[in-house]
Amino acid sequence: MREVQASEAKTHLPRLLDDVERGETVIITRHGRAIARLIPEANRRQDELDRAIESIRALRRHTGRITLAELLSTRHEGHKY
C-alpha cells in the first residue's frame, strides 16, 4: 500500500489505475491526510485468486503430495549449520 498526494494522483491517474489493477492499494492524501483509497475490484481479484488456486491444485495432482521431511529438506538445502 502506498500513499500519493492528490496533485500527483491527478497527474498520474492512468498509471495509478494500472497499479490498482495489478492488485496494489493506493491512498490519496491532501495536506498529509488520507482522503481516498483506490482498491482493486473485489470480483476481479477473486477471479484471479480462484484461477491461482486451481493452478496449484492441478500442479498438486500432477506432482503428488510432498512429505514434511521433503519440505524441510528443501527448505534447508544449501544452508550451512
Beta bridge pairs of residue 38: 26
Banded pLDDT at 81 (limits 50, 70, 90): low
In-domain check, residue 67: yes
pLDDT of residue 8: 95
In-domain check, residue 12: yes
Total count of domains within the chain: 2
Question: CATH number for the domain including 23?
Answer: 3.40.1620.10
Is 47 in the same domain as 71? yes
Read off the pLDDT of residues 3-62 as tens digits, 9 standing for 90 and up. 999 999 999 999 999 999 888 999 999 999 999 999 988 777 788 889 999 999 998 888
Domain that holds residue 54: 42-76
pTM as predicted: 0.54
Is 34 in the same domain as 48? no
Percentages helix, strand, coil for the chain, rounded to the nearest 5?
55, 20, 25
pLDDT of residue 29: 97
The span from the CA of 77 to the CA of 79, in Å, is 6
In-domain check, residue 81: no
Strands 2-5 and 33-38: unpaired
